[in-house]
Amino acid sequence: MKKLIAVDIDGTLLNSKREITEKTKKALIKAQELGHIVVIASGRDPFGVYPFADILEFKKFGGLLSNFNGGRITNYKTGEVIINHTLDLNLAKEILQFSEKNLDMHYIIYSDDGVLTSSEDTYTLKEICEKAFTHYEVIDDLAYSLDFAPNKIMFSYYPDLIDDQSKILKEKFFDKTAQVKSTPRFYEIMPKGIDKGKSLKEIAGFFGMTMDDVIAFGDEENDLTMIEMAGSGVVMGNGTDFMKSKADFITKSNDEDGIAYYLEKFVFNTNN
């Protein structure tokens, strides 16, 4: 039976050296050869996912990109954007203006051309661009001059201080947005109701599949909805204790080819 296989990137698809191992690569290509649909499910923008899609031969098999935690779904082979969710432009500007007046942490917004930010001092700005394989542009009045509806706003701050700052955003805008702490230093705001779980449900529906046909691999809090909603929610051995408590199965770590281990044990055997 055909499966929809969703993989998070950092801590899941990539090992601790930020590489896709040969064993994991071969397993995911084999899955596509067997007729399964592979989705890279990430909070990243499309630029930050393209290199991994190429490694996994998505252009050959029609693999999917789920970017911005489910905000935009793209068929990598055809370039077609299947699903796209954005923040209301006025709401996005309201959030940015509020943050500049009330918070110490800075933000970035992804455009089709790269990363936009209002400050050169944005925490880990250059690292963010390096991971996204893109560049950044500083626009001083971005909170007021933004002229497109973004898929998400990402705040970046020191791990020991971000919780207190993000709490202010949550209290102010939680009823209008979806919010998640995606890593110890990133806090993301997306359209209301958008998350990785809903993304997989939309994709499954698009292909006439159900959530019982979905296998999701993740390790962090922003993977929670897809782990809970998938027919098989698989958490990596390096995942957080909280995430492991929500898993249907705990596989080996990202440094031990946990994705390949699960596929070989539970998916490929059923095709032989």
* pLDDT, mean of residues 89-115: 95
Distance between CA atoms of residues 99 and 168, nearest Å: 9
Position 61 scores a pLDDT of: 97
Would you identify the CATH topology of the domain 89-191? Answer: 3.30.1240
* pLDDT, mean of residues 6-17: 96
Considering only CA atoms, which of 188, 176, 185, 125 is closest in space to residue 151? 188
Sequence-separated contacts (24+) of 87-90 with Cβ below 8 Å: 87/149, 87/150, 87/151, 87/152, 87/153, 87/177, 87/189, 87/190, 87/191, 88/149, 88/191, 89/146, 89/147, 89/148, 89/149
Residue 73 pLDDT greater than 90, yes or no: yes
Given the residues 8, 195, 219, 257, the one annotated as active site: 8
Over pLDDT 90: what percentage of the chain?
A: 83
How high does pLDDT run on average in the chain? 94
Position 56 scores a pLDDT of: 98
Would you identify the CATH topology of the domain 4-84+194-267? Answer: Rossmann fold (3.40.50)
Residue 272 pLDDT greater than 50, yes or no: no
128-158 residue pLDDT tens = 888 766 788 999 999 999 999 999 999 999 9
* pLDDT, mean of residues 14-35: 97
Residue 205 pLDDT greater than 70, yes or no: yes
| Domain regions of the chain by residue span | 4-84+194-267, 89-191
Position 187 scores a pLDDT of: 94
Position 270 scores a pLDDT of: 60
pLDDT band at 38 (very low <50, low <70, confident <90, very high): very high
Catalytic residue list contains 164: no
Position 124 scores a pLDDT of: 85
